[in-house]
Structure 1
Amino acid sequence: MLQKNQKWQTVAAAVVIFSAWLLVACSGITGKKNRLQYASSPYLQEHADNPVDWYEWGQEALDKAKKENKPLLISIGYASCHWCHEMEKESFMDTAVARIMNEKFVCIKVDREERPDIDNIYMNALQLISGNAGWPLNAFALPDGKPFFAGTYYTNKSWKSLLQSISNTYATKNQLVITQANALVNGMVTDEFRLIDTAAAVAKTKKETYAQLFDSIYTQVDLRNGGLKGTQKFPTPALAELLLQHFYVTGEQRALEAARTMLNKMAMGGIYDHIGGGFARYTTDSLWRIPHFEKMLYDNGQLISLYAHAYQLTKDQLYKDVVAETIAFVEKTLLAQGGGYYSSVNADAEEGEGEYYVWKANELKKIVGTDNQLLLEYFNVSEKGNWQQPKNILYINQTASTFAIRKKMLIEDFRKYLANAKAKILSARNERKKPTVDTKIVTAWNAILLKGYADAYAAFGDPVYLQKAMACAGFIERNILGKDGSLKRIYKDGKANIEGFLDDYAWTATAFIRLYEVSLEQKWIDVAKNITQYATNHFLDKKTGLFYYADPQKNDLIMRKTPITDDDLPAANAVMAKVLYTIGTIYNQEDYSNQAIRMVASVEKRVKEFPRYHIQWAAMTGFFAANTYEVVITGKDALVQNMLLQEYYLPTSITMGSTIGEPLPLMQQKQVNGKTLIYVCTNKLCKRPEEELPRAIDQIKPNN
């Protein structure tokens, strides 16, 4: 009997062992991680426990696909993308799905923020195939990287069906797939832009063209709710900047009104975090109320600049508050140890998408205590909930001042009450499990924030903002910038890696130019010039006068892209055009200035056809159509006078100055002992110098 029991015990143990092995094999929980565990990207590292045999983009994956004649499956996303996480949970963690992917494809995972050059190509393919865009982006390509199909998010069932269909088609109708890929790539080839001579380019940059472009874009503006028309709302800072610029250049009130509508609606809507500061990526409704909750550094950096500019024009307290609160969010949540700023905050918390930010009415009542009804009414909170029952997203219908007046309260009393209540709510929210932060540091986005801090310093004169700008600039200079002016794209775990792209160069040069303008420290404009020279040497397509997105000598992709269209950020070529003109003006290098003018003229036809997607180019057209000014300040009080000058909104002016010496061409022979003089110049021809700033400001008149 004992022997029988021992026998069954042995069998049972074997069954248990086999069952455990089978469970592990079928669940994909092998205790091992795939090769993404060694990736620098936090987004890629999140997929390290997938049973999918992921590769990073590189020669190893391409060689494997060619050797085994398998199609590439290129899945592109980013750390704060909600639907990227959903597809991972539903499909990439499913061993049945992973088995198909591993057997039939060579699977590559890409962080779009780390490799925007890859994302640009396969997003272009998706748009040609479906007319849509979005992430996760899942592209299927030949072993050489040529795409033949692309889509976005799929349910588990749909994804498995698609995988089988594509695998079968690739195996049985391979020539058809190759034909499709070649046709798609031909359709993706960068548009031909011809190099325009300087005289012809100057002739094209006229007021009529700018007026036409503005009118076309204005027809796309949602005059009731602000922003561009549509069922979803994206901040699109470039649009509001264009509206402010147009008001400055032409005096048209409709432009200022449209800008203020957009700024006010965003600041009062649910897209803005009324408790912790900062803006979400976009809203899923047309009223700015229901956000997709991720927060991106590049959005918030641009919006700091935008609201600072709007404050310079309007002196609206709301805009000042938004800047201060957004900066507080960035500093608290995204500042990395040792300097630099992280890239984003996830939309999802442990409890689900947006749960970190939403509230039930009874929660707020307990937190706020007495007089809680005032707060609930102000933030549109109800027992049923204004989002998913019974949860509420906080948004307002009127400013604190207007609400106080309606409630017959002193404005200062209500503002104190509101500040106290928000502090209590923030303290309670800090007890919740926070959304994860993508801890890679992206060069272009840090430069955008740097410029935001410089613009905030100009608008408000707070020296803390200048200190933050200087600290960010120092971080970039120490860790990311090469002595030859080269830039890396990513800084992570003490290392800079991945060659910089055009937006890294354009925005970093822009940021250092702006830092020079507000501080008059010669060092920063010299650095900007060095970066510009490197970009010109390595990225410029001499046939078109435009810039490739990636250094063609270091590009391992199927084509060279010359991006001229706005996407998440304004077109990098348009930003670069402004850099070239500014550097050319400051250093009296006409080859740079003329190249910038030619760039704007060369894309004019495309911009006229699709102005909504080329807003930054329209703004550059306005910059050239209006009179541009060089403002030169010399003398012992140059810093003081410059600080006062920077308080003004002057979008068509370039500032330079020095307290001692004449370090730049336009400063030559402008020093007068014992005096601080302000020169306003156009095309190097200067008006009578002034000692009083108001008199100099009177000389800076658009189209004067």
Structure 2
Amino acid sequence: MPNRLAEATSPYLLQHADNPIDWQPWSAEAFAEARRRDVPVLLSVGYAACHWCHVMAHESFEDAATAEQVNRDFVAIKVDREERPDVDAVYMAAVQAMTGHGGWPMTCFLTPEGEPFHCGTYYPPTPRHGMPGFRQLLDAVTTAWTRDGERVRTGAAEIARSLASVELPAPAAVSPEVLDEAVATLAREFDDVHGGFGGAPKFPPSMVLEALLRHHERTGSAQALALVVRTGEAMARGGIHDQLVGGFARYSVDAGWVVPHFEKMLYDNALLLRVYAHLARRTGSALFARVARDTAEFLLRDLRTPEGGFASALDADTDGTEGLTYAWTPAQLAEVLTPEDATWAAQLLEVTEAGTFEHGSSTLQLRRDPDDPQRWQRIRTVLAAARSLRPQPARDDKVVTAWNGLAVQSLAEAGAALDHPEWVAAAGECADLLLGLHRVDGRLRRSSRDGVVGAAAGVLDDHACLAEGLLALHQATGDPARLTAAVELLDLAVAHFAGPDGTWFDTADDAEALLHRPRDITDNATPSGAAAMANALLTASVLTDGGHRDRAEEALRVAGGLLPRHARFAGHWLTAAEAMAAGPLQVAIALGAPDPGVPELVARARALAPGGAVVVAGVPDAPGVPLLADRPLVDGVPAAYVCRGFVCDRPVTSPDELAGLLR
């Protein structure tokens, strides 16, 4: 019989609806039951595309004997970390404090008051590699609870108090010298052999690359550009990049980008689309333009939902086996290609008899440009078609507001910069879904699925990332309604998430009370909500001529101490700081009658304006577009007005003059 997850909207919770464990969703009722029965809570947190979550589910959660023990001695709660990032953040802090590391699946034992007393991640069914077996751990927790429950509760309360008392770093001014120091820190931590930062596992440093590119644009730093180009090329040519149909996996298990952890996440691909589009625009590289195009097509083809939003992820596993869809052997190439093509493709894609992955199979890499591009395109098409006949990974169809906001921003910016109006149109449809479905009674919800909005309240990054997306969409289309909606979201966030002295909380002031109110300022796989808010506030201040800049500056001061020492975890802060140091640059283009095409002045501005700049085009004094106010045509022809901060150049009417100003 299905358990109490059967009515959930989360695909991750639904994956566990038929477990013999009597899972409950996070709710006051579950904790009330724990108090009534005087038993601890087993909290399990994961997400639908998580490989080790699946492994623990198969080994333990589907086991009848384990389920009997859990159901007898605990109240079991299952949480989708993507649907409830607030719950995840609170208890991940506990896991990291107790173990020194974190990850998913997250396994926490709580008092009926929600206070953690023992936390970890994956546990095997039997003792292995120094870890206790899961049932062995259940026995130990039950024994401690029944024999020494008062001490357990006292310790848990102390842990809860210590978690709530974590302080932010001391505020510091963000000067150009601080930004230079952050770049120097990144250069020291750079992997000169493989690109990227740190060792294995290696994650795409999307936000850091965007910041470095902006630093190059502002200062001319060849070093900053080299770090971006080296990393961008290494990722594009490695196994982390799907060489057949586009899109990037979550991370590489090795330092050389060869073997990915195969889940494909919306947020990674949205952030990487933005980076590669900006790299292509700045360098003119055909490789980077192709990767941007392939990534956008992956989003539109494989993650787009019927409602116009974007699904959260493709699973790491296929039929319980990681990489089953993606890996190849020489023999498998020979099954679908001619002998000559199979040999040529194996050499080009580094598919060897020994293999680079598991069981003699290889991931596909493209470490050099093919000597016959037409042959490669033909072979690529054949391999992609053959792969489509294999079993395919499951898709998490949950539409998360923040991640869709990232997709809106990336598609709008990339579509405008690389002249793909269909990407901009898709961004607009996604924005319409989020504004129409995810706003309920004037407040933003976290997610939806199949056109049904979920119950979880939106958190800070939902408001900030959607606002960033709407501001980008306004610039790509000139639609004043997008600007109005973005400002409304920012005002809503200020009312419910802003803390004292430039700080921001991740949950609203009227949200469900947890052990403490989280406020994480460091970037993780996605931008921190506070950093995204700083970016959105800064952009809005330029577009509206309004009073948001002070709040953006205050937020940056709060993160200022983080930037020079921990730049790898503050990339999105650095993007805002670089834009602020550059002005930000404003480009307002006054046009004649609305043009269904893209006038040359507009195309040149979008191609050359640095990241963080604001570009808006439309008829003079267009209603609802403050940047076009009092900016008339010049001698009856379209004109571009370029300003940095509060200093403006004279208006220009030729694309070459505009290019000179932007360079």
Category of TM-score, reference length = shorter chain: over 0.9
Are 2:329 and 1:360 equivalent residues in the alignment? yes
Q: Tell whether the 8 Å contact from 2:210 to 2:275 is kept in structure 1 after alignment.
A: yes
Aligned partner of 1:668 among 618, 624, 629: 629
Residue 402 of structure 2 corresponds to 444
Tell me which residue corresponds to 1:480: 438
Amino acid at match of 1:221: F
Q: 1:473 Cα shift?
A: 2.0
Q: Deviations over 1:275-295 (max 9, x none)?
A: 121111111111101111110
Counterparts of 1:290 and 1:325 in 2: how far apart (Å)?
20
Q: 1:628 aligns with which of 551, 561, 584?
A: 584
**Structure 1 pair 544/560, CA: closer, same or farther in 2 (3 Å)?**
farther
Q: Residue type of the partner of 2:229?
A: R
Corresponding residue of 1:492: 449
Q: Which runs of 5+ in 2 are unaligned?
A: 127-132
Within 2, Cα distance between the matches of 1:675 and 1:574? 40
Q: What displacement does 1:113 show?
A: 0.7
| Partner of residue 413 from structure 2, selected from 455, 463, 468 | 455
Structure 1 position 350 matched with structure 2 position 319? yes
Please state how far the C-alpha of 1:191 moved relative to its aligned partner.
Answer: 4.3
For residues 195 and 566 of structure 1, do their structure 2 counterparts lie closer, same or farther at Cα, with a shift above 3 Å needed? Answer: closer
Amino acid across the alignment from 2:630 = Q
Q: Please list the CA deviations of residues 163-205 of structure 1 after superposition, one character each: whole Å capped at 9, or x if unmatched.
A: 1111211222223322332332233226445998xxxx8xx23
Give the alignment of 1:146-295 within 5 angstroms. Answer: 146-157=115-126, 158-189=133-164, 191-192=166-167, 204-295=173-264
Structure 1-normalised TM-score? 0.89
Which has a greater percent of helix?
1
Partner amino acid for 2:613?
Answer: S
- The structure-2 alpha-carbon separation of the partners of 1:118 and 1:251, relative to structure 1 and needing over 3 Å to count, comes to same
1:529 corresponds in structure 2 to: 487
In 2, the alpha carbon distance for the partners of 1:189 and 1:500 equals 22
Cα offset, 1:540, TM superposition: 1.2
Per mean C-alpha deviation after superposition, the further-off stretch among 567-576 and 454-463 is: 454-463
Give the drift of 1:156: 0.6
Note closer, same or farther for the CA distance 1:176–1:378 as it changes in structure 2 (3 Å cut).
Answer: same
- CA pair 607-185 structure 1, distance change in 2 beyond 3 A: farther
Structure 2 CA distance for partners of 1:55 and 1:42, relative to 1, 3 Å: same
Q: Which moved more, 1:168-177 or 1:60-69?
A: 168-177
CA deviations on 1:97-152 (whole Å, 9 max, x unpaired) are 11221121111000011111111111111111111111000111111111122111
Q: CA deviation at 1:241?
A: 0.9
Counterpart Cα distance in 2 of 1:105 and 1:370: 60
User: What is the Cα deviation at residue 352 of structure 1?
Assistant: 1.2
Q: Which amino acid aligns with 1:691?
A: T
Structure 1 gaps, min length 5: 1-31, 405-413
Q: How does 1:22-171 map to 2 (within 5 A)?
A: 32-157=1-126, 158-171=133-146
Partner SS, residue 359 of structure 1: coil
Q: Secondary structure at the match of 2:447?
A: strand
User: Is the CA contact (8 Å cut-off) linking 1:195 and 1:598 kept in structure 2?
Assistant: no
Aligned residue number for residue 650 of structure 2: 688
Quick check: 2:642–2:649 contact (8 Å CA) kept in 1? yes
The SS at the match of 1:108 is: strand
Which residue does 1:322 correspond to in 2? 291
Shift in Å, 1:487: 1.8
**1:190 to 1:577, Cα distance in 2 relative to 1, 3 A:** farther
Distance apart, 1:628 and its partner CA: 2.2
Q: Spell out, residue by residue over 1:683-703, the C-alpha distance to the aligned partner (whole angstroms, 9 max, x if none).
A: 3332211112332343346xx
2:288 equivalent to 1:313 = no
> Which string of whole-angstrom CA distances, capped at 9 and with x for unpartnered residues, describes residues 19-74 of structure 1?
xxxxxxxxxxxxx1111111111111111111111110001101111222211111
CA displacement at 1:218 relative to structure 2: 2.4
The total of aligned residue pairs comes to: 649
Amino acid at match of 2:138: L
Letter of the 1:335 counterpart: R
Out of 597, 616, 622, the residue aligned to residue 656 of structure 1 is: 616
Shift of the 190–612 alpha-carbon distance from structure 1 to 2, 3 Å rule, reads: farther
Equivalent of 1:510, from 465, 468, 482? 468
Cα distance in 2, alignment partners of residues 272 and 621 from structure 1: 30
The Cα shift of 1:360 comes to: 1.8
- Give the superposition deviation at 1:504: 0.9
Whole-Å separation in 1 of the counterparts to 2:617 and 2:360? 58
* Identity of matched residues, %: 31
Paired with 1:105 and 1:98, the residues of 2 have a C-alpha distance of 10
Contact 2:311 2:396 in 1 (8 A): yes
Indicate the SS of the match to 1:156. coil
Counterpart among 538, 552, 574 of residue 509 in structure 2: 552
Question: Aligned equivalents of 1:602 and 1:446: distance in 2?
Answer: 27
Residue in 1 that maps onto 2:130: none
Alpha-carbon contact 2:276-2:288 (below 8 Å) kept? yes
1:565-604 matches, within 5 Å, as: 565-590=522-547, 592-604=548-560
Alpha-carbon distance in structure 2 between the residues aligned to 1:459 and 1:608: 31
Show CA shifts across 1:247-287 (max 9, x none).
11221211111111111111111111111211111111111
Which amino acid in 2 is paired with 1:677?
Answer: A
Matched position secondary structure for 2:364? coil
Which amino acid in the other structure matches residue 622 of structure 1?
Answer: E
SS for the counterpart of 2:453 is strand
Alpha-carbon distance in 2 for matches of 1:309, 1:120: 32
